[in-house]
A and B are shown apart, each in its own frame.
Chain A
Amino acid sequence: MRNSTGYLDAASAQPLHPAAKEVLLAALDQGFADPLRLHGPARNARLLLDNARESVAESFGVRADEVSFTSSGTAAVHSGVLGLLEGRSRESRRLVHSAVEHSAVLQAGAWHTRHGGTAHVVGVDHEAMVDLVALESTLREPTGVLAVQSANHEVGTVQPLAGVAELAAAADVPLFVDAAASAGRLPLPSGWTVAAASAHKWGGPAGVGILLVRKGARWRAPFPTDDRVDPRAAGFENVPAALAAAAALQAVAGEREDVNARHGALIERVRSFVASEISDVEVVGHPSDRLPHLVTFSCLYVDGEALVTELDRLGFSVASGSACTASTLAPSHVLEAMGVLTHGNVRVSLTRDTSDDEVEQFLAVLPGVVERLRAASGVRR
């Protein structure tokens, strides 16, 4: 098995933060019991769960009773979007979302449509920035819920959420924010009624989603639940994982100023290197309003799957939004909506431990890989 050197896919999953690992190991012993029961071990588990909730609330700057732990980020998104729609069903069953939302939002919209609602898509510009003019005009029609991400998970563009929230408030439409791509790395934006995030994106364990519901929000559970601790989430809480997620979030928020500055410089280095050293390449996403740790580019005439595979052979792990790398064989809906090149696509995203050396080594092999694949493709240039 390979060690994590050359791992440049933090946006898919971060390795567990050391602070989370320590807490997780301790909590596995202390937090196994059912927090709902009335005995000592149950009280331990309940205490740990309450601590996790309070810690997450503090990191996000929200109230503890606004925090729910779900079984994944996707579950939090589904429950968040559909629960808000449920609460608004008397006003309007129309969901409006941007064209570049995570597939979890798109699939919630598709589910809603199959159950008698409607979903309307607002477009984005070439840099994946949501079109505020189009949004304003679509919100003139009665709308149940507006869903816009904090930042794009594939190309890193940070959405103009202050403007989005203003339009939503003016139209009196509750805003759902999928904050998964930015949570931990950037402060949580304001103006939302419900928000969602995912712990493994900030260095917590997988299988912990965060659902934030503003106190007093008209949110109704869209799916059956049970009679457990939290009426917004179903199932037996993964107490150790929730506590580890909270510890990782606290640690990441504490170190983000330094980490973001370092990442910002490294990503700038990748952006300028790729643009100047590789021909026929398009760096995509907003050049300045973007996540600090992520860059995406597309290389003409190159098969995305071959690119990922060849880089993997050389010890570098990257993601791709190209069709040939997707289970559906369709190109990334994000790249499509932006109207940018969809093949030969690579997303590089840095973990807190990615070193300058790793990035330099990656840049040292990249132009050669692209040239070799182009030579093999038969393109005459």
Chain B
Amino acid sequence: MNPDVELDCRGMRCPLPIIRLANNIGDVPVGHSLAVVADDPAARSDVPAWCRMRGQEYVGEDRADDGAARYVVRRLA
């Protein structure tokens, strides 16, 4: 997974990573992807839930270079 933009949300608690995701999804063109790097355990549920509610595609979870969880989203709209 090679996202065009990576948002560093380390140290942020819910719902801040999702707010950053919502505010920055417009930074990538439709069809491109964006990643949220977050250590808040709620992000694991909330990024896919946000995608479902906002009509975007949840691509999946991998790891950032430092091992932090990274959630990848493809912009559909």
A residues neighboring B (CB under 8 Å): 280, 282, 298, 300-304, 322-324, 329-331, 335-336, 339-344, 377-381
Contacts and interface: CB of A to CB of B under 8 A. Distances in A.
A341 B45 contact: yes
A298 to B, nearest CB: 8
B19 A378 contact: yes
A380 B45 contact: no
B3 to A, nearest CB: 20
B23 interface: yes
Contacts of A301: 15, 18-19, 22
A342 B22 contact: no
A139 B35 CA distance: 39
Given A302-B15, A341-B46, A380 B53 contact: no
B22 A341 contact: no
Contacts of B8: none
10 contacts: A300-B22, A303-B15, A323-B13, A323-B40, A339-B48, A342-B14, A342-B49, A343-B18, A379-B22, A379-B23
B53 A323 contact: no
Give the interface SS of chain B, mostly helix, strand, loop or mixed.
Answer: helix
A343 B46 CA distance: 7
Interface of B: 13-15, 18-19, 22-23, 40-42, 44-46, 48-50, 53-54
Contacts, number: 69
Given A322-B14, A323-B40, A324-B14, A340 B19 contact: no
B59 to A, nearest CB: 16
A322 B44 CA distance: 13
Given A301-B19, A323-B42, A380-B23, A339 B14 contact: no
B73 to A, nearest CB: 14
B43 to A, nearest CB: 9
A381 B45 CA distance: 21
A381 B15 CA distance: 15
A225 to B, nearest CB: 39
A380 B19 CA distance: 8
Contacts of B46: 341-343
A341 B17 CA distance: 13
A344 to B, nearest CB: 6
Contacts of B13: 323-324, 329
A373 B45 CA distance: 21
Contact of B42 (A300, A331, A379): A331
B60 to A, nearest CB: 14
Contacts of A323: 13-14, 40-42
Given A282-B53, A323-B13, A341-B50, A300 B18 contact: yes
B21 to A, nearest CB: 10
Contacts of A342: 14, 42, 45-46, 49
A378 B19 CA distance: 8
Given A282-B53, A300-B53, A377 B45 contact: no
Nearest to B47: A341
B50 A377 contact: no
Contact of A381 (B22, B41, B50, B53): B22
